[in-house]
Amino acid sequence: RIIVTAGPTREPFDPVRFITNYSSGKMGYALAVMAARRGAEVVLISGPSSLPVPPGMDFISVGSALEMRDAVMSCLAAATVIVKAAAVADYRPAVRAENKLKKKQGPLVLPLERNPDIIAEIGAVKGDRILVGFAMESENLLANAKAKLFAKNMDLIVANDLHQTGAGFQCDTNIIKILDPRGGIEEVPLMDKLDIAGRILDRVKVLIDERKC
């Protein structure tokens, strides 16, 4: 049973506006589709996305990072693999206005507070579950990805550089490096995200087989 998270989160600061990012959900949805094709029981937890809900899986729609955290943790006990492909906002507005904020003279200051670190929370309690995370970076790709891999107790981390053509948000393709705690780095060239999903799940299958031995 595999949990896949996908898409962005939206962090509202009044009834009509919010903070978000450019994630389309395409990578996470591709992972969910490919996992279902390979026979996994899939739970797809998605932030707001224009993509159609894939058939053959449980689907949970969420809005904010707090909602995504609650959904993931509620499904965790039954999961054997967790793939955190969602682009969860690190911060949310500290206060949500009850009414629409009106335009005034001068700048608008929005105090922010930290959102929960979902993947770190999973990493602390995962037991023998397999945990896969993502690191989209704009600089120091390998160093940042390695630090995240160990700090959050992941089994694999998928790293990509948003400056590479074909690897950023909204693309149908990706270019990735898959890192493991033993120091291995698998470089995967430009390909369709569904094929990228297959390569990531190949690595997950290797880990599953190793743990059966």
Return the structure tokens found at 113: 């507070």
Residue with structure tokens 């959900």?
25
What is the Cα–Cα distance from 90 to 68, expressed in whole angstroms? 12
* One-letter identity of residue 192: D
Return the structure tokens found at 22: 């450019």
Which residue is catalytic, options 21, 99, 144, 153? 21
* One-letter identity of residue 75: C
63 burial via Cβ count (<10 Å: 0-12, 13-18, 19+): middle
Check if 21 is active-site: yes
Residues with catalytic roles: 21
